[in-house]
Amino acid sequence: MTEYLAVDGGTIAYEVAGSGPLIVLAHGMGDSRAAYRAVIPRLVAAGHRVAAVDLRGCGESGADWPAWNRTAIAGDLLAVIRHLGGPAVLVGHSISGGAATIAAAQEPALVSAVVELAPFTRKQSVRLGDLRVKRFRKGMLRLAGTGVFGSARLWRSYLDVAYPGTRPADWTERLGRVDALLHEPGRMKALQGMGRATPADAGAQLGNVRCPVLVVMGTLDPDWADPHAEGSAVVADLPSGLGSLEMIEGAGHYPHDQFPDQVVTLMLSFLRSLPSDAARA
pLDDT tens string 44-82: 999 999 999 999 999 999 999 999 999 999 999 999 999
Residues 216-246: pLDDT tens digits? 999 999 999 999 999 999 999 999 999 999 9
What is the pLDDT of the chain when averaged over all its residues?
95
Mean pLDDT over residues 22-29, rounded?
98
Cα distances from 146 to residues 123, 186, 197, in angstroms, run: 20, 15, 14
Rg from Cα positions in the chain: 17
**At 88, phi and psi to the nearest 5?**
-145, 155
CATH at 132 = 3.40.50.1820
Question: Is the preceding peptide bond at 87 cis, omega within 30 degrees of 0?
Answer: yes
Non-local CB neighbours of 82 within 8 Å, separated by 6+ positions: 110
Global pTM value: 0.95
Q: Which SS3 state, helix, strand or coil, does residue 224 take?
A: coil
Calculate the CA 229 to chain-centre distance: 19
Say how many domains are in the chain: 1
Domain that holds residue 268: 3-279
- Express each pLDDT in 110-150 by its tens digit: 999 999 999 999 988 878 788 888 999 999 999 999 999 99
pLDDT reported for residue 86:
83
Q: How far is CA 143 from the centre of its chain?
A: 17
Q: Tell me the C-alpha distance between 223 and 150, whole Å.
A: 19
